[in-house]
Amino acid sequence: MENFGLVQEKLEAFIKKYYLNLILKGSLLFLATGLLYFLIVVGLEYFLWLSTTGRSILFWLFIAVELILLFKFIGIPLLKLLKLSKGINEFQASEIIGRYFPEVNDKLTNLLQLKHNARQSELLLASIDQRSRELTPVPFTNAIDLKKNKRYLRYIVFPVLIILGLIIAGKADFITQSFSRLSDYNTVYLKPAPFSFVVRNNDLKAREGEDFKLQIRTIGDYNPETVQVLYNDAESFMKQTAPGVFEYTFTDLSENVEFKFLSNEVSSGDYLLEVIRVPKLLNFEMDLNYPGYTGLKDEVISGTGNITVPEGTAIKWNFRTRNTKNINFKIADSVYRVQTENGVSAFEKTVNSNLPYSVSASNELVKDFENLEYAVKVIKDDYPEIQVIGQKDSLDIDIQYFKGDVSDDYGLSRLQLAYFPENDNEKVETIDIPVSKESFDEFHFSFPGTIQLEAGLNYLFYFRVFDNDAVNGAKSARSETFSYRKKTEEEIVEEKLQEQNDAIENISERLKDYEKSDEELEELSRLEKEKEELNYNERKKLEEFLMRQKKQNEMMKNYSEKLEKSLQKNESPEPSSMKEELQKRLENNEKRLEENESLLKELEKYSEKIQKEDLGKKLEELSKQNKNNQRNLEQLLELTKRYYVEEKKQKLARDLEKLSEEQEDISKNEQENTKENQEKLNKRFDKFREQMDELDKENKNLKEPQELGREEVDEESIQKDQKEATEKLEENQKSDAKKKQEDASKKMKEMSAQMQQMSMQMKGEQLEADAETLRQILDNLIVFSFEQEDLLNDFKQIRQNNPKYASRLKEQSNLRENFRHVDDSLYSLALRNPMINEAITQKLTDIEFDIEKAIERLSENEIPQGTASQQYVVTGANDLANLLDNILSSMQQMMANPQSGQGNGGEEFQLQDIIKEQKEIMEQMEKGTDGQPGPESDGQPKEGEGNNGELYEIYKEQQMLRMQMERLLEKNGLENGDNPVDEMKQIEEQLLDKGFDPETVKRMQQLQYELLEFEKAHKLQGSSEKRKSETNEQDYKNTLQNQIDKAKEYFNSTEILNRQILPLRQIYREKVKEYFGKGRD
């Protein structure tokens, strides 16, 4: 058993060496990790420069980690070595030894198992002893090699090298001072600054209100990139001018400034910038005491020393200062030193001429600080000024509108219009025009308005404005002199007729241009079809043609507008459907011209791009459109001529009726029945005959002249009676003369009635004849439609090599000739009947175009394209037949009801009826307005929809109502003065211009109110002479205001800046005056 004891001792020795090896290994690892962790801790403290709390946490954390490492690497193996803690047992040790010694293997483990067997026997003991002897020579402790722990020394090298490097570099304080601060964590340590600040200014003093530039530089290990200056609880960055050099400007200094510098947590000590107090003129006011005659209120001006005042104004300067001993007031070479008391001083002076002056402040330290220069401008009482511009009404050249600017330096008193006959300047009449009493005003006036002027005389007139100079008397200024001629009735009629003739002649000339354009267009179309591409000269020719077409369109549009205006000015007593139709056609003509302009633009585009196919189509479209326009213009021109012939005939009939009444009146008045008065009537009748001759000539120029109802025999009889009456008056045989005068008057009345009756009779007969003509045209058109449809079906079934193809093509040519007869008949009818409108003309042009295209395509054996054109012809003919059938129905209805469309042939309207009708029209407008889209929507009504038709009906009703109102006023002798007719005309214009518009509805509401007021005034008229006088005065005032309002509306102007109530000071009055003067220039 001794051998087993030796084995057991050797096994214990192995276990001790095993734990000693672990302790050695742990010591090396503890030393390596401990040193590395130590360097990390002191590095954190060195770079972060922690507070006491941070250092205490870091210190105790360092101690805790080191203790943990010590326990882990050394404490645990030591406890097991001392058997204070459970370690490895004999069996675990035997396994380690068995793995190290191959010869031992698991023998030692088996030995230990046999030893611990509870059943001991001699054989077992002998076996244990034998095995123990075998294991005795084996050195168990050699299984532990302590030299292997050398490899852990390399982990110690890294932190040791860092420490040695720091020592060699002279940075040992990185470890020592950091650890010292770390261990003394309760002590506060300040981080040493890497640089310091040095102020470069000689002194830190500045004047109050001025700027001070502070300059510094930094000294130390390095130069910071930015430096902040801290003052007044704020931080501002300084400007770097060079490395380590910075500057900062304190602006508008008023108090001492304490400041310091900061950069990268490096702070300087406190500095003080001392501010020197300077004399300061804080503010001053000017008390202005104006001369009494100017009417200006005394006032106080502050914020400026420059002022414009009237002559003789007393000015008191009140100064408010700080740190000031006296104010220096300099005028030219004189200096007035004004002492200050409690920061206040004053200076007074009365100015009669321009006064330049300067003001400065002084104290014990600073003299004449901030010398401020000002000037007082003195103005004299000047003459008023007036500037007037005048324009003639574009629609009524007998009305002149004026817009004027009047001004004065201190105020206006009145404004007058002065007018007088050109050859008698002593008969000056004046009218006062309202004007503001302030310095500026704008006025408007229309001349002559309601001023009663004698017809046939030339008048001169001007505007005069007066100021309010109470000392020297009101001074005045007058505008340039304007002229005006009050035309006679004959001159007005002649002027209107001349305008109408000019417009008609211009349109006739343009029609000739259309014919030339057609020839050029045919030539261009031929070239386009024959050539693959137009050469330069041909393209140039096309461009020149398009330019001429544009100019022609513009001229035609201009003439069309003039003719439309002429129609508007020609106000006949009775409503005229012909006039309305002509106006409508003129408007449509203008629209077509605009469409033509768009087509010309497209042609320009295609001609530039040389797109042959599109160019050809557009040329065809232009040709078609030109033909249609030409026919429409021919019809429009002929209808216009017929309208004016009829209107002139009716006017002459009315003139003759009026002449008969005057002839009858003179025969009954003994005092007026003189040879001279009779000769005047004779000359008027001679003038009537001359006008009838002119009318007869114009009527014969119509393509289908009308029956005028003129009997030259009767005219000669009347002329003979008047001549004999003159002779009897010369012989003083008044009774015989009276008989001849009565005969002449009676014959005149009969002739006037015959002319008017003839017009009505001719209208009925013409309508019947037109209806019969239209019925025949419609029958021929239907036959043409059926034949064209049959021919279309034949061509759909036939082939081009069929022998009947040529005969069918000839049939198509025959149908073309048949349709030309229909076309010619309708064209002839359209020249005298406005019911054959543009829609029919358009259909005729379309059908004729499609027939030509059908023949052209079928001739080139293009059967599908040709039959398509034939189909268009059939459809167009059917549509045209439908239109003509509707017109025929309308004609038959008009023949069944002759009064339809002839105006109000029954009982004449009374004022109450007009008010009622006007209200109904307004209600229709309100309904139409409610149904209209807003101005921003895309819901504009398209052409062909019902809105335009409904609006046109409202327009006709409004126009008829206005004419009834005019007749009512004329019957009651109220043609002149303030009445609602002008407002009704304005509404008609707005209906044409704006359609369904809320503004038009508002205008109708205002008209309804005016009609009610007019009815009330009409009932009260004539109740007493006094009330009549007051009413006349009020009417005059309203009429004058109406003239002013019309002029304002014409110039589209409002009261500029509402100047009569602007409380402007004198300097601003001068500037406004200067501004408006420049505007007029």
- Count of CB atoms situated within 10 Å of the CB of 528: 21
Our CA angle for 217, 222, 223, nearest 5°, is 35
Residue 404 has pLDDT above 60, yes or no: yes
Q: What is the CATH number of the domain that holds 455?
A: 2.60.40.10
Record the tokens describing residue 395, joined without a space.
């629609």
Listed residues 233, 261, 276: the one ending a domain: 276
Determine the Cα–Cα distance for residues 17 and 143; give it in Å rounded to an integer: 9
The residue from 227, 245, 276 where one domain ends is 276
Residue type, 32: A
Sheet holding 280-289, edge to edge: 299-302, 280-289, 313-322, 344-351
pLDDT digit string (tens) for 41-66?
888 877 777 788 887 888 888 888 88
Alpha helices, H only, 443-488:
none
Q: Which residues contact 965 (CB under 8 A, 6 or more apart)?
A: 914, 979, 980, 981, 984
SS (HEC) of 77-101: HHHHHCCCCCCCCHHHHHHHHHHHC
Share of the chain above pLDDT 70, in %: 70
pLDDT of residue 938: 40
Sole residue written with tokens 């167009």:
876
Residue 108 within a domain: yes
Whether residue 520 is found in the same domain as residue 602: yes
Ranges 233-242, 515-524, 611-620, 690-699, most confident: 233-242
Whether 761 is covered by a domain: the verdict is: no
Residues 43 and 164 in one domain: yes
Cβ–Cβ < 8 Å for 475, 534: no
Return the SS3 of 417: strand
* Rounded Cα–Cα distance for residues 954 and 995 (Å): 10
643 belongs to a structural domain: yes
Q: Is residue 806 part of a domain?
A: yes
Could you tell me if 831 and 633 are in contact, meaning their C-beta atoms sit under 8 angstroms apart? no
The pLDDT tens digits of the residues spanning 467-509 come to 887 756 788 999 999 998 888 776 776 677 677 667 677 767 6
Q: What percent of the chain has pLDDT over 90?
A: 12
Which has the higher per-residue pLDDT, 820 or 566?
Answer: 820
- Amino acid 587: pLDDT: 63
Question: Mean pLDDT over all residues of the chain?
Answer: 77
| Alpha-carbon radius of gyration of the chain | 59
Of 481, 501, 527, which residue sits at a domain end? 481
Three-point CA angle 405, 406, 408, nearest 5°: 145
655 shares a domain with 526: no
Do residue 878 and residue 776 come from a single domain?
yes
In a domain, 960, yes or no: no
Dihedral through CA 421, CA 423, CA 428, CA 430, nearest 10?
Answer: 30
pLDDT of residue 1078: 47
Region of poorest pLDDT, from 127-131, 203-207, 931-935, 1057-1061: 1057-1061
Residue pointed to by tokens 């302009």: 597
Nearest to 686 by CA among 720, 646, 661, 650: 720
Give backbone dihedrals phi and psi of 1024, rounded to 5 degrees, phi first: -155, 155
Paired tokens of 599: 């087509």
Question: What's the confidence (pLDDT) of residue 478?
Answer: 92
> Do 733 and 596 fall into the same domain?
no
The yes-or-no verdict on residue 956 having pLDDT over 60 is: yes
270 vs 291: CA distance, rounded Å: 62
Asked if the model's pLDDT at residue 924 lies above 90, the reply is no
Q: Are 65 and 38 in contact (CB under 8 A)?
A: no
Check residue 526 and give its pLDDT: 62
Q: Considering the domain boundaries, does residue 398 fall inside one?
A: yes
Average pLDDT of the segment spanning 718-728 = 88
Averaging pLDDT over each range in 238-247, 399-408, 676-685, 914-923, which range is the top one? 238-247
Domain extent for 341: 280-379
Handedness of CA 632, 634, 635, 637 (dihedral sign): positive
389 lies in the same domain as 405: yes
CB 198 within 8 A of CB 218: yes
Distance CA 437, CA 442 (A): 12
Residue 380 has pLDDT above 60, yes or no: yes
Count of helix runs (H) and strand runs (E) in the chain: 24, 27
Residue of 1072 and 937 predicted with greater confidence? 1072
Beta strand extents in 422-562 (DSSP E only): 429-433, 440-447, 458-467, 476-478, 482-485
Question: Are the C-beta atoms of residues 593 and 558 closer than 8 Å to each other?
Answer: no
The pLDDT value recorded for residue 871 is: 93
270 with 284, same domain?
no
- pLDDT tens digit string along 1038-1072? 455 565 666 666 665 434 333 333 444 455 555 54
pLDDT at 1035: 41
* pTM for this model (two decimals): 0.42
* H/E stretch holding 321: strand 313-322
Asked if residue 870 belongs to a domain, the reply is yes
Mean pLDDT of 280-308: 87
Q: How far is CA 197 from CA 192, 229, 273, 993, in A?
A: 14, 11, 16, 82
On the question of pLDDT at 571 being above 60, the answer is: no
Residue 227: C-alpha distances to residues 213, 217, 272, 939 (Å):
15, 10, 18, 68
Q: Same structural domain for residues 636 and 653? A: no
pLDDT interval class at 901 (50, 70, 90): very low
Split into its structural domains, the chain has a count of 6
Is the domain of 657 the same as that of 637?
no
Residue range 310-327, pLDDT digits in tens: 888 899 999 999 889 899
pLDDT confidence of residue 1032: 43
* 374: confidence class by pLDDT, cuts 50, 70, 90: very high
Task: Indicate the pLDDT class of residue 669, thresholds 50, 70 and 90.
Answer: confident
Which range, of 213-227, 549-563, 853-867, averages the lowest pLDDT? 549-563
Q: What are the backbone dihedrals phi and psi of residue 200, each rounded to the nearest 5 degrees, phi first?
A: -95, -15
Q: Which two tokens stand for residue 368?
A: 């004449």
Helix (H) or strand (E) holding 661: helix 612-668
Q: Does residue 665 sit in the same domain as residue 725?
A: yes
Least confident residue range of 17-21, 276-280, 581-585: 581-585
- pLDDT at residue 464, as a whole number: 94
**Ramachandran assignment for 449, one of left (phi > 0), alpha (psi -120 to 50 degrees), beta (any other):** left
Pair 1028, 1022: CB distance under 8 Å? yes
* Whether the Cβ atoms of residue 472 and residue 381 lie closer than 8 Å to each other: yes
Paired tokens of 880: 């045209």
Residues 776 and 805 in one domain: yes
Residues 654, 635 share a domain: no
Examine residue 988 and state whether it is found in any structural domain, yes or no: no
Model pLDDT for residues 446-461, shown as the tens digit of each residue? 888 888 888 888 999 9
